[in-house]
Amino acid sequence: MSNSSQNSFLLIDDDNIDQLIASKIIKREFPTLECIPFLDGEKASEYIEKNIDAGKLDHVQFIVVDLMMPIMDGFEFLVNYKKKFYNHLPDVKIIVVSSSINNHDKALCLSYPFVINYLIKPFSLEGVRKLKLNAVL
């Protein structure tokens, strides 16, 4: 799936079109990053759990996660990430994307120390540029 020698990001979104758009926009701004896509938080969590040992996730620069998904939604992913992975991956930052404009959703997501931003869909180049990911990468 991923070559650990190439820097990458995880993209978790149940909509293939949204995945394609987000991936292309991020790769336009950061062409050397490889996108590792997942259709739900559970699959992404399984990937992280399987690869967390022995520095196999050192190549992951950040994670983009949608809030509203079946199986394991973005909220559940954030809770799971904090509980299982954050202590092992303190430098990996998460960007939440959602169609929700609910201020409570945004505040809840941003309360996690590893969430660096909350973007409203549709995903845009301007939104990615506002993230100032260069500071993270």
Classified as helix, coil or strand, 36 is strand
State the pLDDT at residue 133: 62
Per-residue pLDDT of the chain (137 residues; tens, 9 = 90+): 444 457 899 999 999 999 999 999 998 888 889 999 999 999 999 999 999 876 788 889 899 999 999 898 999 999 999 999 999 999 999 999 998 889 999 999 999 999 999 988 888 888 777 766 655 55
Give the C-alpha separation, 91 to 19, whole Å: 23
At 130 the pLDDT is 72
Pick the CATH number of 8-135 from 3.40.50.2300, 3.40.50.1820, 1.10.8.350, 3.30.565.10: 3.40.50.2300
Q: Where are the domains of the chain?
A: 8-135
Amino acid type, 121: K
pLDDT at 124: 82
Q: What is the DSSP letter of 49?
A: H
> Distance (Å, rounded) from C-alpha 26 to C-alpha 2?
17
User: Which residues, other chains included, contact 88 with Cβ-Cβ below 8 Å and sequence gap of 6+?
Assistant: 52
Token readout for 81 is 């990430």
Compute CA distances 83 → 68, 79, 94, whole Å.
20, 6, 15
Strands (E) located in the chain: 8-12, 34-38, 60-66, 93-98, 115-120
- Written as six digits, the tokens of 45 are 């969590």
> Which single residue is written with the structure tokens 């959602």?
98
